[in-house]
């Protein structure tokens, strides 16, 4: 089967990533102008969201619309036959007959990989449990390049919930393909999984672990720490406060440190930060459109 699935950044080659970033650059003016083209005219994307999503789902829809294609899908498994107990493999074998590609989000780790095994059409992983969110990592890379001009030679701090955060897993692997160095910053109970740290180090990427966000890195990538992860609320409050970026924390942050966040944020970045020129999370969110346009066009055409 000669198809391209986008499942994980773990095994992506640097060349492949660079190709996507180049394609994204071509898509950016179209996304910026919000002006439809006909690259995927007549093609259909299925969006299967077994879990809540706003920006991933809407940006894929917007990307597909801009490329001239059409969309089918569901965004609530309660309204689909999953409710009746259908297996993912069966759902995929049915939906592949209806669409040219499938984007899916699923609560189970490995769900997208399983789907790719069963599907004749390309599968794009829109998030599988705590495992991977590769299209997010690609738009993250694109954002860094846009702002910093390169990925090589940068120090990137990933902070917050590194244990369950699929975006930081995908981004860590993606950055390990470049000459970046990584800082993992988290409460002890939410450290980056050992096997990921081992993989990253094995790739030759320098890794440092800290537990605060007073960094001078080129990039500070914050993620949300969820209350539910902690057995008692006191413990949560103690550690979470160290990962809140407010006016005070901004004072201690590097003057050229760009701030990223996959969004949604709850209270880990104060509203006062939004106007700081280092805050890049909204433009980052916008880059989801050209990145996903590039991915959709790549997997659904021979171009």
Min dist CB 206 to its own copies, Å, is 33
Q: Which residues 6+ apart lie within 8 Å of 144 measured at CB?
A: 151, 154, 156, 218, 219, 258, 260
Site track for its own copies across 81-100, x = CB under 8 A: xxxxxx--xxx-xxx-xxxx
> Looking at 19, 29, 54, 212, which residue binds its own copies (CB under 8 A)?
54
Tokens of 24: 């994204």
> Looking at 18, 25, 70, 130, which residue binds its own copies (CB under 8 A)?
70
Contact set for its own copies, span 214-243 (CB under 8 A): 224
- Residue nearer to its own copies on the CB measure, 206 or 264: 264
For 242, counting Cβ atoms within 10 Å of its Cβ (0-12 exposed, 13-18 middle, 19+ buried), the class is middle
- Residue nearer to its own copies on the CB measure, 106 or 177: 106
- Residue nearer to its own copies on the CB measure, 194 or 228: 228
Tokens of 59: 């940006």
Catalytic site positions: 55-56, 84, 105, 133
Site track for its own copies across 143-182, x = CB under 8 A: ----------------------------------------
- Residue nearer to its own copies on the CB measure, 19 or 41: 41
Residue 141 and residue 21 in contact, taking contact as beta carbons nearer than 8 Å: yes
> Looking at 198, 201, 252, 282, which residue binds its own copies (CB under 8 A)?
282
| Binding footprint of its own copies, residue count (CB under 8 A) | 56
Min dist CB 180 to its own copies, Å, is 26
Name the residue among 152, 129, 99, 144 with its Cα closest to residue 8: 129
Residue keyed to tokens 């970046």: 180
For 74, counting Cβ atoms within 10 Å of its Cβ (0-12 exposed, 13-18 middle, 19+ buried), the class is middle
Contact set for its own copies, span 7-46 (CB under 8 A): 34-36, 41-44, 46
> Looking at 55, 146, 163, 191, which residue binds its own copies (CB under 8 A)?
55
Residue 49 is a binding residue for its own copies (CB under 8 A): yes
Tokens of 254: 């590097």
Residue 279 is a binding residue for its own copies (CB under 8 A): no
Min dist CB 198 to its own copies, Å, is 30
Q: Which residues bind its own copies (CB under 8 A)?
A: 34-36, 41-44, 46, 49, 52-55, 57-59, 61-62, 65-66, 70-76, 78-86, 89-91, 93-95, 97-100, 224, 263-266, 271, 282, 285-286, 289
């Amino acid at each position: 089967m000669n198809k391209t699935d986008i499942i994980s950044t773990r095994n992506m080659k640097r060349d492949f990533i660079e190709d996507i970033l180049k394609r994204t650059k071509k898509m950016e003016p179209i996304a910026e102008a919000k002006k439809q083209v006909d690259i995927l005219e007549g093609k259909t994307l299925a969006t299967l969201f077994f879990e809540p999503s706003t920006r991933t789902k809407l940006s894929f829809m917007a990307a597909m619309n801009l490329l001239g294609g059409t969309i089918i899908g569901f965004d609530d498994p309660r309204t689909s036959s999953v409710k009746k107990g259908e297996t993912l493999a069966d759902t995929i074998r049915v939906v592949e007959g209806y669409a040219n590609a499938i984007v899916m989000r699923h609560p189970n780790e490995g769900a997208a990989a399983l789907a790719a095994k069963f599907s004749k059409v390309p599968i794009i992983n829109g998030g599988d449990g705590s495992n991977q969110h590769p299209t997010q990592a690609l738009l993250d890379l694109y954002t860094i390049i846009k702002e910093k001009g390169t990925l090589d030679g940068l120090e990137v701090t990933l902070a917050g919930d590194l244990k369950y955060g699929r975006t930081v897993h995908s981004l860590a692997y993606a950055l390990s393909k470049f000459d970046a160095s990584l800082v993992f910053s988290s409460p002890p109970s939410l450290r980056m999984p050992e096997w990921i740290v081992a993989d990253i180090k094995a790739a030759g990427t320098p890794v440092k672990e800290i537990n605060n966000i007073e960094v001078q890195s080129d990039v500070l990538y914050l993620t949300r720490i969820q209350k539910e992860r902690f057995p008692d609320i006191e413990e949560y409050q103690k550690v979470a406060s160290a990962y809140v970026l407010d006016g005070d924390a901004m004072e201690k942050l590097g003057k050229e440190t760009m701030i990223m966040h996959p969004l949604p944020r709850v209270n880990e970045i104060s509203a006062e930060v939004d106007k700081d020129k280092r805050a890049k999370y909204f433009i980052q969110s916008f880059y989801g459109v050209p990145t996903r346009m590039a991915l959709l066009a790549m997997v659904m055409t021979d171009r």
